[in-house]
Amino acid sequence: MTAPLVLTAHPGVGDVVEGDALVSPDGFSARYDLDRTTGVIARESHALHGQSIAGKVFVCPLAKGGFATSWALYDLRARGLAPLAMLFGWANPVMVQGAVLAGVALMDQLAPDPMQVIETGDRVRVDPKAGRVEVWPRATMRLHPTPDGGAPCRWPG
Amino acid sequence: MRLTAEEQEILAGRWGAPARRALEMQVATGGFFGAEAMVRISAAHLTGDPESMGDAGLGFVEDLVRQGARFVVPTTTNSCNVDLDLYRQLGQPEEAAQQERRLRELIGAMGGILLTSCTNYQTIYQPRFGEHLGWGDTGTVIYANAVCGARSNFEGGPASYAAALTGRVPAYGMHLPACRRGTHLVEVRDQPRGVSDWGALGVLVGRRLTNYWLVPVFTGLEVEPDADGLKQLGATLASYGSLAMFHIVGMTPEARTLEDAFGGRAPRGRIVVEPGDLERAYRSFVPEQAEVDLVVSGTPHLSLFEVRRLAGLLQGKTIHPKTMLLLTTNAEVKAMADRFGYTQGIEAAGGRIVVGVCYYIMTPREMARRHSLRTIVTDSAKLANIIAAYGYNPIFRPTAECVEAAVSGRIAR
């Protein structure tokens, strides 16, 4: 098992979580981009159109949008469709308010920039209070056991 | 975060469970953004409609009421999903009306004022310079900040409830002078003419500056916007860019001069709006088909002047039988439109004024299914931006072209 790549930032909100990354080159708003009934990106022009954010460590350059976003994570979480964590280049108030209500881990302004060093499918551990993110690249994981020790890699079905 | 003795009492539960939970959420959010203290607010504007909240969000509000929550500052409500007098005619689901009635009971029980409008600043309350607010709707917030010189962050749904329950908000972002100063210079060389042109200008800048922490400073304007133009500019910047603040040098209160707007700092970037760019902003919305299913005006809610202008454009005209025309505004403007005969003229042409709603939360998926709607023409750049996620083909055009599209049932491709 190789050592993880470590990203650091100011403290975020939420608890420690670990999951697979979904990296969005485009910004994200729950109202503008998401079908909140399914957790699937519904905006046709969005780079991740048709993909679900449920259960992912969602990595994205920018939080966009207005008040719908502040409700969306709570409702998604109640229906099992929320992302595990969200890592933004820059978060905005509505996204953080939504994460606080929903109990979804959220961090921003990490160094190095997660958009540069995390790829979709990478294994990511997010520790918001410590201001720390650990990344095991997917390519490495194919050759090595999982970070939680020894069990075979399981990719999302 | 430094908390006052009173705030520590709230956290200890002396104001009840809802206020404690509210302040805990505020402290968490404030901590994320580096707030050092809370700041008292004079009013809150709630953003929560059943479509946006979902069942879990409604459950959150049910819990507050069950625990005896009371708002401690004057608290108004934003636009809603149904006009209770018209939803059946429009074919909206009964469930949406039931949820709306229930939410109104809950907000009423906490002492809220059921305004159901996103133009509180035009119709009900004009905040003063420097006044701290806990407003939720992004269009209201950017107007309060930029035009009135008041101070509010986007206090989104749950945060707007929290603000109403504690009477304070975390002091970060737009509450701090340093965050309100300009970051980017916008040189305007294409002069807006009508109200929607201010929206087109917002499209051009909001597509480039897509970060809450950026503040555009407009220069080169040879025309002065009225309140409706500023409403469209602000709502569009907030929608496309998630921006909460802008300055127009010589016109808005924190931009008496260029130096004033930038607070002595150099611009971090420069955007030039060239001749023809406003037209290009409209034309970036491309119709898939010539037939127009729906024309909507009123995001944000129409002012009395805008309703009057639309009534004038519709005079002696008849809406195409296959096209629906909806105007959205608040009850106050509608009452005046009734009194002055504008409503009668609009209805005679085949249009409808829907009260308290905004189209993108007006059960738009159900509306599309029920009426086979795909092409929507609107003079609101914000509506055109949002409605795409609901399976519509949105076409942003100036108001007069929208009325022509409603009458002919067609849009030039």
Asked if pLDDT for residue B249 goes beyond 90, the answer is yes
Asked if pLDDT for residue B61 goes beyond 70, the answer is yes
ipTM of the complex: 0.94
Domain ranges of chain B: 5-174, 181-282, 286-408
pLDDT band at residue A150, thresholds of 50, 70 and 90? Answer: very low
Domains B5-174 and B286-408 share a fold: yes
Asked if pLDDT for residue B72 goes beyond 90, the answer is yes
Give yes or no for A14 touching B (CB within 8 A). Answer: no
Residue A155: per-residue pLDDT = 29
Give yes or no for B60 touching A (CB within 8 A). Answer: yes
- Average pLDDT rounded to a whole number, residues A138-156: 44
Cβ within 8 Å, pair B154-A92: yes
**Average pLDDT of every residue of chain B:** 97
Give yes or no for B1 touching A (CB within 8 A). Answer: no
Of A11, A66, A98, the CB nearest to B238: A66
Asked if pLDDT for residue A147 goes beyond 50, the answer is no
The three state secondary structure string of chain B is: CECCHHHHHHHCCCCCHHHHHHHHHHHHHHHHCCCCEEEECCCEEECCCHHHHHHHHHHHHHHHHHCCCCCCCCEEECCECCCCCCHHHHCCCHHHHHHHHHHHHHHHHCCCECCCCCCHHHHCCCCCCCCECEECCHHHHHHHHHHHCCECCCCCHHHHHHHHHHCEEECCHHHCHHHHCCCEEEEECCCCCCHHHHHHHHHHHHCCCCCCCCCEEEECCCCCCCHHHHHHHHHHHHHHHCCCCCEECCCCCCCCCHHHHHCCCCCCEEEEECCCHHHHHHHCCCCCCCECCEEEECCCCCCHHHHHHHHHHHCCCCCCCCCEEEEEECHHHHHHHHHCCHHHHHHHCCCEEEECECHHHCCHHHHHHHHCCCEEEECCHHHHHHHHHHCCEEEECCHHHHHHHHHHCECCC
Residue A153: per-residue pLDDT = 31
Asked if pLDDT for residue B6 goes beyond 50, the answer is yes
- Average pLDDT rounded to a whole number, residues A124-148: 78
Could you read off the pLDDT of A66-101 as tens digits, one per residue? 888 899 999 999 999 999 999 999 999 999 999 999
- Average pLDDT rounded to a whole number, residues B66-73: 98
- How far apart are the CA of B58 and the nearest CA of chain A, in angstroms? 9
Asked if pLDDT for residue A154 goes beyond 60, the answer is no
Q: Could you give all domains of chain A from N- to C-terminal order, each with its CATH number?
A: 5-141 (3.50.30.10)
Percent of chain B whose pLDDT exceeds 90: 98
Residue A141: per-residue pLDDT = 55
pLDDT band at residue A1, thresholds of 50, 70 and 90? Answer: low
B5-174: CATH homologous superfamily?
Answer: Aconitase, domain 3 (3.30.499.10)
pLDDT band at residue B285, thresholds of 50, 70 and 90? Answer: very high
- Average pLDDT rounded to a whole number, residues B117-145: 96
pLDDT band at residue A149, thresholds of 50, 70 and 90? Answer: very low
Residue A148: per-residue pLDDT = 40
Residues 277 to 316 of B: which have CB under 8 A from any A CB? Answer: none
Asked if pLDDT for residue B89 goes beyond 90, the answer is yes
Percent of chain B whose pLDDT exceeds 70: 100
- Tell which CATH architecture fits domain B286-408: 2-Layer Sandwich (3.30)
Of A43, A71, A78, the CB nearest to B157: A71
